[in-house]
Amino acid sequence: MEQLALYSSILISIVAFAYAVWLYLWVKRQPSSNEKIAFNGELIRQGARTFLRKEYKVLAKFAGVAGILILVLLPTPIWKGEVTQNILMAVAYFLGTIFSAIAGKIGIEVATIANVKSAEAAQSGIKRSFMAGFRGGAVMGMAVVGSSLLGVALVYIITGDATTVLGFSFGASSLALFAKAGGGIFTKTADISADLVGKVELDIPEDDPRNPAVIADNVGDNVGDVAGMGADLFDSNVASMAASLVLASSLDSALGGAINVSMVFCFAALGLLASIIGVMTARIGKNGSPTKALNSSTYVTTGIYIALTAAATAVFNLSGGSGALASSVCWSASS
């Protein structure tokens, strides 16, 4: 059962990546004929790429120092002879930072495209605008959850140790902490500058693209609220799975078997599968309500998830004994 859950997690993660690619291509194919929107969008896109590249270079230095400390000290000081465990923990940490950085980069690439497509589509109605924005955001959603599930599954398959997964989680956390804060500080500084210099001193209307600080403000919004948030969500998802695995592994060691670890990966994989189906069902009429479309997608996802987990619980007998004790922490790993 444990092997089935692990390899199913990897398979469903790959399906999520494939669906994310399809969504990305769909968003990219949407018409973009307004030269002014395209010009300003390209400025924001190039600015976001530059900022992210500079930020990641700084964070790489921090991650390198943190990785060395982990190698020397965790899970036990290296001079006590547990060299292999320390190396695995450090490698897992670096993998966590890399996966988190990739999630943020994917988010930036699709968001800066979806911004332009959604803005232009809004001129002809809310339907196309909503779908461009929603599917653009769904690309990062699929990439974040898929990469977190894939990363945790690979680390666990290679090491067979839930403690090592904590290194992967720490890597995701360290990058998310600075990525989100850095973008937020940048965008707030640019926002204040745009208001003080442009609106107050030069009487340029607020959010007028002729003011360079407005472009910088939008760059910061994308980096902080898209790349930073993507890294933050990646961190949260990995941390919930890591915590679940530590508890599940302890229960399995005490009671025998691997039902709790299997449940963590099973529920997480089914949650991702339900999310894929839920995103597929999101639709909005010509004059429909975006709120209703979002709520409908959420309800569909929740209903499918309940049905899938109930079926898995019945088929694989996850409801009895130790499995029931671990079920409460597994729900967080599937969200």
pLDDT digits (tens, 9 = 90+) for 129-177: 888 889 988 998 898 889 889 999 999 998 888 888 888 888 888 777 7
Of 259, 261, 334, 333, nearest in space to 304 by CA: 334
CA-only gyration radius of the chain, Å: 22
- pLDDT value at residue 335: 45
> pLDDT (tens digit, 9 = 90+) per residue, 218-243?
888 888 778 777 777 888 888 889 88
Reply yes or no: is the peptide bond before residue 75 cis, omega within 30 of 0. yes
Q: Taking 90 as the threshold, does the pLDDT of residue 184 lie above it? A: no
- pLDDT value at residue 268: 92
Q: Taking 50 as the threshold, does the pLDDT of residue 86 lie above it? A: yes
Whether residue 22 contacts residue 276, with contact meaning beta carbons closer than 8 Å, is answered with no
- pLDDT value at residue 213: 81
Most confident segment among 47-61, 185-199, 269-283: 269-283
What's the mean pLDDT when you consider all of the chain? Answer: 84
DSSP run (H or E) holding 200: none
Residue written as token pair 């107050």: 200
Residue written as token pair 């400025």: 43
Mean pLDDT of all residues in 269-284: 91
- Cα(259)–Cα(81) distance, rounded to whole angstroms? 32
Q: Taking 80 as the threshold, does the pLDDT of residue 28 lie above it? A: yes
Most confident segment among 18-22, 45-49, 122-126, 324-328: 18-22
Mean pLDDT of all residues in 310-323: 72
Query: pTM for the whole thing?
Result: 0.85
Of 307, 301, 295, nearest in space to 274 by CA: 301
- pLDDT value at residue 319: 63
